[in-house]
Amino acid sequence: MSLPRLCIVATGGTIAGVGARPQATQAYAAAALDVAGLCATVPGLGEVARIAAEQFAAIDSKNATPAFWQSLAARLQQLLDDPGVDGVVVTHGTDTLEETAYYLHLVLKTDKPVVMVGAMRPATALSADGPLNLLDAATVAAAPGAAGRGVLVTLNHQIFGAREVAKTNANRPDAFASPNAGAMGLVQDGRVTWLARPERPHTASTPFTAATPLAPVEVVAGYAGGSAALIEAVPATGAHGLVWAGPGNGSASNEALAALERLCGAGLAVVRASRTGSGCVAASGRLPGAGTLSPWKARVLLMLVLGAGAEGTQAVQTAFDTY
């Protein structure tokens, strides 16, 4: 049986990071190693798949932008449309990996495996996690059963769905989790074990593509004693939408709630989400709820939904109930 053909698309991040000392796990330059250097750190890659590799970008993912998401999606779509490519692996910084992953999960038109991977330690660190994470990601992309699950994220022997995955720790290699759903699978010793499938429409089953415009949306957080002035300032930024990252069940102080409802009444798309990291925020009053999406992912969906032309709170709520 011939090996699947995978393309590794490198975008930078700590997985391609270079530090001055082997114990440097926080002080290093992200995105310093090119894709050839990255692949060279992974013995056995060629036994998992026939590998092509390309350098798409070399950024720290803290600097990712919606324009970056769109151009990455356009390039991945070209690769995925190529009958000579069976799947792609995207190396990416971990800081905003979950935002890029959910965006790609909503816009790529494919059933082929798309696996994103990063690392918490730079390539030069003792016990660097990147090489095994990358080998695991290629193993997942080459595995029977990887197709049709939308965009997957593999780190630390776990496979996560793009919609549910979140970075939940600032430093440790076990930084990723899906607090509401658990892992979608495990990859260990070259073997993949599937545990779950995505429940919601994704990739080929959504109306969104890499060409869907992204409307500007801001996130404002709620906290004790927070002023409503930041909420009131959002329309002047040019934003078409606002995600409220509220405490608890996406709650807002009386003052903040009044400001959110005022802006919603004036035509700004407002969605309530929770800053807690898990749980579900239902619609309340006239403000739509983000459901189980984090504020950051609610922003991604709202950007797409508004960019695709949705109008009114009911249309926004329907999108959040669907995706």
Shortest distance (Å) from residue 134 CB to ligand ASP: 13
Query: What is the three-state SS of the chain?
Result: CCCCEEEEEEEECHHHCECCCCCCCCCCECCCCCHHHHHHCCCCHHHHCEEEEEEEEEECHHHCCHHHHHHHHHHHHHHHHCCCCCEEEEECCCCCHHHHHHHHHHHCCCCCCEEEECCCCCCCCCCCCHHHHHHHHHHHHCCCCCCCCCEEEEECCEEEECCCCEECCCCCCCCEECCCCCCCEEEECCEEEECCCCCCCCHHHCCCCCCCCCCCEEEEECCCCCCCHHHHHCHHHCCCEEEEEECCCCCCCHHHHHHHHHHHHCCCEEEEEECCCCCCECCECCECECECCCHHHHHHHHHHHHHCCCCCHHHHHHHHHHC
- Of the two residues 19 and 288, which places its CB atom closer to ligand ASP in the complex? 19
> Least Å distance between CB 13 and ligand ASP?
4
Our CB check for ligand ASP shows the closer of 98 and 218 to be 98
Q: Which is nearer to ligand ASP, 110 or 154 (CB)?
A: 154
Query: Which residues, in sequence order, are bridge partners of residue 220?
Result: 244
Residue 100 annotated as catalytic = no
Q: Which is nearer to ligand ASP, 13 or 185 (CB)?
A: 13
CA distance 135 to 146: 15
Provide the minimum distance between the beta carbon of 285 and ligand ASP in the complex, in angstroms, as a whole number.
37
Q: Which of 60/218 has CB closer to ligand ASP?
A: 60
Residue 154 CB, nearest distance to ligand ASP (Å)? 14
What six digits make up the tokens of 9?
């698309």
Q: Which residue has the tokens 């504020």?
A: 295
Contacting positions for ligand ASP (CB under 6 A): 13-14, 30, 60-62, 93-95, 118, 120
Q: Please count the residues of the chain.
A: 323
User: Which candidate in 11, 14, 110, 139 is catalytic?
Assistant: 14
Q: Would you say 112 or 121 has its CB closer to ligand ASP?
A: 121
CB of 126 to ligand ASP, least distance (A): 16
Residue 20 beta carbon to ligand ASP: minimum distance, rounded to whole angstroms: 17
Active site residues: 14
